Amino acid sequence: MLVNINNKQMNADCKGALAQLNSSWRAFTHNEKPMTKVQVKAVLEYAVKKGYDHTGLLTAEEIDSVIGALEG
């Protein structure tokens, strides 16, 4: 899960991105596809719960699992 800012991809601070969700969610992608606000919120909440500092600590499998549970 990456944040795209000025065409540069980087990891985001989980708590900071969650606190700024209304303005930050559009910058998030997973597997090079844009994510919805609901997906971003769920993944960031999962990351915070796991104690992750930044999104780079999330595995693709974890993100897929969280998104899959939403679609459930």
Mind listing the pLDDT tens digit for each residue in 26-69? 989 888 889 999 999 999 999 999 999 999 899 999 999 999 99
Look at residue 30 and give its three-state secondary structure: strand
Q: What is the pLDDT of residue 1?
A: 62
Cα dist. 67→7, 37, 70 in Å? 24, 11, 5
pLDDT at 4 exceeding the cut of 80: no
Reported pTM? 0.89
The CA-based diameter of the chain, rounded to the nearest angstrom, is 34
Measured in degrees and rounded to the nearest 5, phi and psi for residue 30 equal -140, 130
